[in-house]
Structure 1
């Protein structure tokens, strides 16, 4: 079982570890966010098109016997 650390020491450790993190710049964050939106848009368009195409093909198959 882990030993208990008092809250003050814990917060000091958290602050020390947080200072070691390399944070992205505002520019890097903006570019990454825009790239995520672009890729989500492409994926949404692709899956919409694939769904429409498969729906059309299935309607052709199912209407053959009608």
Structure 2
């Protein structure tokens, strides 16, 4: 069974682990954020277009059946 860790020991371990993390630079963070926004816009445009096209096609099918 694992030994119990006190809250103070836990916080020390957390600080030690966060010191090992390689944090991205401000430039890397901005570029990644911009890439995410661009991909969201591209995906939204694609799904909007696909939805409009399918809605139009379904409308044609339903009008033809009546």
Decide: shared fold, TM above 0.5. Answer: yes
TM-score, structure 1 as length reference: 0.94
Show CA shifts across 1:31-56 (max 9, x none).
00000000000000000000000000
How many matched pairs? Answer: 66
- Give the aligned partner of residue 26 of structure 1: 26
Over aligned residue pairs, what C-alpha RMSD do you find?
Answer: 0.8
**C-alpha deviation, 1:2, in angstroms:** 2.7
Deviating above 4 A after TM superposition, structure 1's stretches of 4 or more consecutive aligned residues are none
- Give the aligned partner of residue 11 of structure 2: 11
Residues 37-48 of structure 1 correspond to what in structure 2 (within 5 A)? 37-48=37-48
TM-score, structure 2 as length reference: 0.94
**Separation in structure 2 between the aligned mates of residue 36 and residue 2 of structure 1, nearest angstrom:** 41
Answer 1 or 2: which has greater helix percent: 2
